[in-house]
Structure formats: structure tokens, C-alpha cells
Copies of this chain bind each other. A is one copy, B any other.
Amino acid sequence: MDTIIPIFHSLSKSMRNIHKSSCDEVSVVQSSILYEISLIIKPSMQTVAEAVGMDITTFSRQIGTLEKKELLIRTPYEGDRRIYLLSLTSKGSAIVTSINEIIAAKMEGALASMNDFERETVLRSMYVLEEKLRGS
């Protein structure tokens, strides 16, 4: 359709702006890394790099930066010493929580003027869409 492109671009732009303006001490990319780590229990570098869709070498350096900032720690995996497991420090978790709260507030602000039915419809649509997009 002709209608899908403007919607795609303006929605990505809005979402990116929301994410960016919700990150204070950290870049958007770093926020995504921290968020992905918060989802999984002790993931390896590789796992997270893939989840974020990032080159592993750039990722490795970002992890270095985030570790220096004391937002996460690398622990060697006992079963395979090539692997490092990542986990958030309490400071790291706090930042993820804070960013998520700001994002949620902004999203809810946008949804606030809708009635329950419409809000449910929009949320469900986002969910369905993401599910389909992830497949392809």
C-alpha cells in the first residue's frame, strides 16, 4: 500500500525519539543492550550481541564501557572458559527500570485519551505486528 510507508517512518521516528529522550546516562544503543540483558538470566556475550543485532566486536567494546560504568559485570562461565556471562549490577538494573518507567509514562500519556477498547486494540495490534515482523 501507499499508506504504509508514511506510517512506518513516522512511527519509527516517534518511538526512537521517545527512547532517546528517556535515556539520560546512557546512549540508546547501550540502553538496548542493558534491556536485553535484563530479559535473560546470565546470557553470554554472543547471545546478547545477536539479540541487539550488533557486530560482536563493537558489542565487546560497549560491554567494556558499560562494565567501567559499573552497570553490568562479566563473569567467566565455569563450563566453558571462552564464554563470559553478563548480568546487570543493581545500578544497571536501576537504570533499565528508570528508562522503562519514562517510556511507559510517555506511551501511557499517548494512550490516555483513548477509551479502554481503543487502547486494547492498539496494544494488541502492536503485539500482533511485532510478532509477524519478527518472523520475517
Partner of A103, one of B8, B15, B134: B8
Assembly of this chain: how many copies?
2
Would you call A136 an interface residue if the criterion is a C-beta within 8 Å of the partner chain's C-beta atoms? yes
- On whether the beta carbons of B15 and A8 are closer than 8 Å, the reply is yes
Could you say which of A67-75, A86-94, A118-126 contacts chain B?
A118-126
- On whether the beta carbons of B15 and A123 are closer than 8 Å, the reply is no
| Chain A interface main SS type | helix
Give the shortest distance, in Å, between A47 (CB) and chain B (any CB). 15
Give the shortest distance, in Å, between A126 (CB) and chain B (any CB). 5
Minimum-distance CB pairs A-B, first 4: A125-B125, A110-B132, A14-B133, A11-B130
Contact digits for A1-14, partner B, Cβ 8 Å, 1 yes 0 no: 10111011111111
